[in-house]
Amino acid sequence: MNRYIEVNYLGLKDYKETWDFQESLFQNILQLKSKNRKDNLEQATPNYLLFVEHPHVYTLGKSGHIENLLISEEKLKAIDAKFYRINRGGDITYHGPGQIVGYPILDLENFFTDIHKYLRLLEEMIILTLAEYGLKAERSKGETGVWLDVGTPFARKICALGVRASRWVTMHGFALNVNTNLGYFDNMIPCGIKDKSVTSLNVELGKAEISMEEVKEKLLKHFLVLFEAELTKEKIANP
């Protein structure tokens, strides 16, 4: 099993360009697995983790409802945002500057074959990272993602999750609000869940801005421990 991870920092990158890049890595792993099975080979399948920020964009998952986007196409243009229907699970979410988006493209057969465990480990990575900033983050029963003050009238979501998997290969991932402009969430019903708010790390800490690089370092540290993985020295090319 190959537990080496190639990490790539894409900076601020258009959502569709990044989605296409993800898809190419995802399909390459699937093709290699097919070739291994067909030709009775044992070539190691690679694993990737992409860190990226996106310009303003709303994405709707396969099980989502368009009614949860609360603005018109004209308003989208006015606020310089895009909209895509995409092939992950879940409902609607927002990505934008100041938000760390992580896309693990893993062959889970290198780790474990359990999607439920995979989602829980991604949540745990966020929970452990936020704990380093003094925040007690939690899971909310029946709802993916990471929350604060679960079970109270003040419950608020700080990280959304949405993944796709085929033959144990994953894509899409998590979106952690760090210095995010939370006003953009007013244009939708986040993840289709009414009556619950969203928050960000800088708001919770009462600071103007948190170091994105520092947060990424902490996320990566916990990711590697939780998945019992190591960094490869190789770097994949930017899309």
CA gap 161, 101 in Å, rounded: 10
Distance of CA 125 to the CA centre of its chain: 11
Is 78:194 a contact under the CB 8 Å cutoff? Answer: no
Is 199:177 a contact under the CB 8 Å cutoff? Answer: yes
CA gap 221, 217 in Å, rounded: 6
Is 7:51 a contact under the CB 8 Å cutoff? Answer: yes
Q: Is 191 a catalytic residue?
A: yes
Among the listed residues 92, 191, 210, 220, the single catalytic one is: 191
Is 145:123 a contact under the CB 8 Å cutoff? Answer: yes
CA gap 98, 78 in Å, rounded: 20
For the chain, the C-alpha Rg in angstroms (whole number) is: 18
Positions annotated as catalytic residues are 191
